[in-house]
Structure 1
Amino acid sequence: MATTSDEQAAGQHYLVCGIQDCQRNGQFYCNDCHQPMCEQCKDKHRKSPNNKNHDIVFYRQRKHRLSIEKCKLHPTKNVDIFCRECNTPLCLKCFLGKEHKGHEFDDLEEIYAEKYALWQGEFSKIQKYFLPKSEDLKTDIKEDVKEIKKIMESIRTSMKAEAESLKNLVDEVTSEKIKHTHTMEKSLLQMLKSQETTYNDYIKYLGKMSEKFQEYLSTTNQKLLSSKILKLKTIPETSKPVPPVFTPGQFNRDDVAKLLGILNIPNTEPEKRKIQPMEAFSTPMKFTENQSIQSKEKSDMKQTLSLSSSVTKVREYSVPGVNNAFHVSADKSGRLWVSDWSNLVQTYLQGNLLLKIQTSGGSDGYHTATQDGGLIYTDKDEKKIYRITPDRKITEFIKTGDWKPISIHSSRINGDILVGMKKDGRAKVTRYSKAGKEIQNIQRDNQGQELYIYPHYITENINGDICTSDFCKEVVVVRNKSGQHRFSYAGQGSWFRPYGICIDVLGHILVCDNVSDTVHLLDQDGRFLSIILSKQQGIEFPRGVCVDDENNLYVGQQFTNTVTVYKYLQ
């Protein structure tokens, strides 16, 4: 779909009222006049009799203007009518022609606005539901791959153990059988030895008998005749041994396979992967009763809040213990954390110093308030992340190995911890669970290119988007919770140096530009809405920003320890 000129302009200029020379915040939009309006001009516009039926809505709910398209039959005429029966866009001259006489017509701009809203909704579904959920399912598959590999390796180990056990049994039985052959052989040899002895004795007997016969034969005939006749003993009978016969075992490969166990896939229906329905996807966490009440209160507040027509300065105070206000974090107790090059301090809003810590965070966004009222901060030289409890006890929390942690954010959605890191000219964003377990690394795109150079401030939007200010790339980089690129914002001028970045309850992105000394306001999808703070409001070198639970905007500045508080929502 073509981008309208109004949309192009919205990306290039401030979102200001379009009535004459009014420069107030154009948070409303007249769908009939196609121009943004501030609240005062909106009221005046409605009072005019000519405009009483005009459709005026919030800017976000505006109808997108129909792009100019010339009629193919009448090139000098614009197409702005839709013929229902022919399902064709027409110009006024076509409409007046005989071909469409008696047909039903619609305003093409209305059709366009409906279609635009429809496709915008479908696009939003892809970005906020289908794509993240598909990425989650892909992650599940990767986990299943790891699990399958682990299971199969365990099966292989069991098979080897089973085979080894069978081999040991075979060796044991074979050893016993061989031992038995030796016993049998000994018995047979003993029998044959006995038979050999029998024949040895018989041969000796025959020898003696031979000597007697020779003696008789050598005597006189008379003596021979008078001697007794000698009788020979018969040859002893012996038996040939019956040798044992070995009968091979009757087994085959299948018998061995059965002995070693059976491997198969159970005949059960595979469990379907759970795909969370779209209506449930926006509330994936389980809440306690108290959390549900807080959630409802926040939801009600979102419905009533909107951008104010002007920004109001609430208060300003100096923070003791620091020379610069590079980064600010407001905790739930109404206290503020402020940091400079090497000092991190906690103060009451009145400016009283409560705690001071020495660290090597530098000028980056190296601390973040947590859901339980504590704080987490980094020490990039030590390559460690520390945790401070609400009662101000400091403990070592996470070691980041060879990577230097330079920025950090504690998720308001689920307590996860997002950390921007640097190592040897490379950079990445790592997600840890609130218990400190590493669960995600975002470093390269699908082509293997490095995503970050120096992500020195980091935050998370209400939809789970990971928003980083990259000092060296000179852009705000926004990726969804799965790590897919959503958009990048490069400012409104020729040079943009993003520093502190934060999110408000409506999903607006607020980011400091250190070049133009301004704070930019973007919507959740990266569209530029306005510059809400500039030198006109007394801002110079804005570096750190945060929004507290009461929707107050805190701005810390370089070269001063001053923190200023503003109201910009109503």
Structure 2
Amino acid sequence: MARSQAQDIIRCQYCEDEPAVFLCVPCGDELCPRCKVFHLKSKVPSGHNIIRLSERLHPTNQVKICEVHSSKAYEACCEDCQIPVCIMCIQEVHGKHAIGKLQDLYEKQKAETEDELSKMKTQYKSEIIERIKDFKNGEREIKASHKNIREKMKKQAQEFIDHISVILKEALDESSKDEIEKLMEISQYTAEAERFEQNLDQLIEKFESLTESSHPADLILYRKQYPDTLKRLQFPEKINFTMPSFTIGQINKSQNKHQFGKFTSGHISHLKLGDDSLQAKHTSGSASVKSSTKKVPGRPVKISETKTQKRALYHVSCGNDRSAYISGEGAGILLIDKSGTQLDNISTDGEPYGLAVMQDRSLIYSDYGNYVIYRQSFNKEKTKLLYTVSGPSGLCCTRSGDILVCMSMGLFNAAKVVKYSSSGSKIQEFKTDQNGRRLFSDPRFVCENVNDDICVSELSRNKKVVVLNKSGNLRFTYDGNVLAMTLKDRFSPFGVATDSLGHILIADNDNNAVHLISRDGDFLSFIVTENDGISRPRGISVDTSDNLWLVEEKNACVKVYQYLS
């Protein structure tokens, strides 16, 4: 490059007399108007691209040297491999591939990147800010609740002070310990969310740089290395706050410390994700804190009732508090809202034996006869998620994003529940208890509780609900025996579901009732019975607002109840 010693003026690279006005991008030559004419007459494999010298700083006009061939610049792109290439790359590797313009691939990927950047700046950024706000609101609620409880404890203790000073100290320590544990747990979630926000800001900055000031090849290479950036973002889970409580006891100096009162620890639980995930319309997190004060009312309130055109209904799965997927006898799955309006009709090859909504709002359903579980994305793209060795029936999606599948007897005559990852890889099998005894003969419905317990309805001769901890150890079974005098027919469990308080709900098909039991297996009440107008309940699901969705087998009817207040 020729420059004047007296002035910092770029001279023509050919005549070295006239100031350079133009630049040939492929060749890198700086030209005056007269030499530009002669330069264009020379032939090069990639052709010439003459621009004004003042335009050379624009990213699309800069020369980017090939990472493989250091003496050559990127001149085109391989449409098959979706990468920039130089002339040597084409000759050595990509000769039989479709070669296109670098600018065309750049414009396409720039549009995709800008769309993702927009989502990160608006939807993702606002969501993580709102979640952090929810976590901090939960901290304030827990602090206020514990403060109020301790005041009650102290007031009650004034009447017992000569007799229960030791008990008071134990109770206060129990409350303080629980508060510290819960606040530490919440702080971990808050820290995780704040770390995610920082990473998100860095990613936003990276995408802005790639789309605004970097060379096109930088963006293309980055997209090649990280093609699914948004899908890889692992959002911290939302959590639900159950506030602690203190039950005041009756004064009786001769009795033990329970006369003083009983402290009940709070609970932090993950919220089930479906349409309530990031891809869905954002809803305020304040409701999750308020839900901690819910209790079982005397009578349920029916929200809606919808008659369908199917001959019988078997399954229901909620993705949020507004809609649910329904299936029954024959092929096809319906999506209806709470008012009964049909939102979608999904075609299937056969009758689904189980339904579940994943965290990304995709629907999965089991094909029992073909040993296949299908996945249908929210944009209606259907794929075979996994093949099973036994007939798959009931399904559920866990809070961690994994899948639990009930397997009835098949090729290996082994009934079990299997945990898979969201991509279809097997993680764990549950077949026997800690003593080696077989757990299942015919598992049909499965769900996960807020404490990670796995709840399975067993339809063998010994009809019962089997509850395992997350490691697969048997916690308890519930067979309705305590209600033998109440039930008109033998306990017949089908659909199982759990709510945000850890209750387990069971559809008792033969007795026309839905049982409500504690997370430890104690019978609490019937939520609805035939006196409430239900008949042959089969599938049940609890939505994100703790409403019960119930499908009746023979009436082919969908009913929604509010049972917590």
TM-score w.r.t. the length of structure 1 is 0.49
Structure with higher Rg: it is: 1
